[in-house]
Amino acid sequence: MKKQTLLVALALTLALALGVTGCGGSKSGEKKADSAQTSRLDEVKKRGVLVAGVKDATPPFGFVDDNKQLVGFEIDLLKYIADKMGVKLELKPVTSSTRIPMLTQGSVDIVAATMTHKQERESQIDFTITHFMDGQSLLVKKGSSIKSVKDLSGKKVGTAKGSTSEKNVMKANPQAQVLSFEDYPPAFLALKQGKVEAVTTDSSILVGLKNKDENPDAWEIVGGTFTEEPYGMGVPQNDSKFRNFVNNTLIEMWRSGEYAKLYEKWMGPNTKYHIPLTWKMELWP
């Protein structure tokens, strides 16, 4: 024991002497200090490409269109950000459960994937300011006896793995039988096949599932919203140069009307996915 303690003390003294402790001594892919280290922003500019994790089956945020192109509201926001950085945009599909690991492992620089800024997720990644505001709701077959989250007691409800929706519904109604799928379309398929009686996630995602369906009128979104889901973009931890760049770009988009223009394009009254804009971005003077 004594020998071990001595060895640890020696190692610590040596480490201090060499200056290898503290936040500057992290391994690649882990936290980096704000000032002393290179920012991801510099890396992206040098590389000439911003690699972004996006959803590919979640209209209107990120989905494959009729021309087999990956498009959507969050993808357009990212295009503007990449343009502002003066780089190209490369998209990588992510799911609710892969998006955080892909960011922490460095396979993407940023994630814009219907992701709620949860305090518990801050232990792994950082978030930008809110770029979209939503709340969780329920999608059911029209005429269903399920009218709110309370009615899910003893019923099967589908959602996606790694989502806040999964945890929120278990908390809101511990009697509900929650079935977690890889993504929301398989959960919706289960609803169509009668394997679950409801699908639960953010209301705008439910609007996307319902209105993309060949028979949208067969489905109904019920129960209002029972949570708050402020979407932020996921960014590498402790890199304020990168994070501020994205935040300032989002603010610029809001102030210039570019945000409203893109919102109108994807969720305006003349679109398939009409979702009224009812919140305001945090604007720094």
Give the interface with ligand GLU as residue ranges (CB under 6 A): 96, 114-116, 160, 163-165, 201-202, 205, 229
Spatial contact of 283 and 107, defined as CB atoms under 8 Å apart = no
Handedness of CA 98, 99, 102, 104 (dihedral sign): negative
Minimum CB separation of residue 58 from ligand GLU in Å reads 7
Q: 116 vs 130, which CB is nearer to ligand GLU?
A: 116
Helix (H/G/I), strand (E/B), else coil: 232 = strand
Residue located via tokens 């992701």: 115
Spatial contact of 196 and 187, defined as CB atoms under 8 Å apart = yes
Question: What residues form DSSP beta bridges with 220?
Answer: 140
Q: 81 vs 160, which CB is nearer to ligand GLU?
A: 160
Q: 160 vs 253, which CB is nearer to ligand GLU?
A: 160
Q: 201 vs 247, which CB is nearer to ligand GLU?
A: 201
Minimum CB separation of residue 166 from ligand GLU in Å reads 8
Q: 85 vs 140, which CB is nearer to ligand GLU?
A: 140
Alpha helices in the chain (DSSP H): 2-18, 40-47, 73-85, 99-104, 164-172, 184-192, 203-212, 240-256, 258-267
Spatial contact of 236 and 126, defined as CB atoms under 8 Å apart = yes
198: buried, middle or exposed (CB in 10 Å: 19+, 13-18, 0-12)?
A: buried
Q: Dmax of the chain from CA atoms?
A: 75
Minimum CB separation of residue 42 from ligand GLU in Å reads 29
Minimum CB separation of residue 104 from ligand GLU in Å reads 16
Residue nearest to ligand GLU (CB): 163
Question: What residues form DSSP beta bridges with 54?
Answer: 93, 112
Minimum CB separation of residue 105 from ligand GLU in Å reads 19
Minimum CB separation of residue 55 from ligand GLU in Å reads 7
Per-position b or e across 220-242, b if 16+ CB within 10 A of its CB: bbbbeebbebbbbbbbbbbbeeb
Minimum CB separation of residue 168 from ligand GLU in Å reads 9
Q: 32 vs 158, which CB is nearer to ligand GLU?
A: 158
H/E element, 32:
none
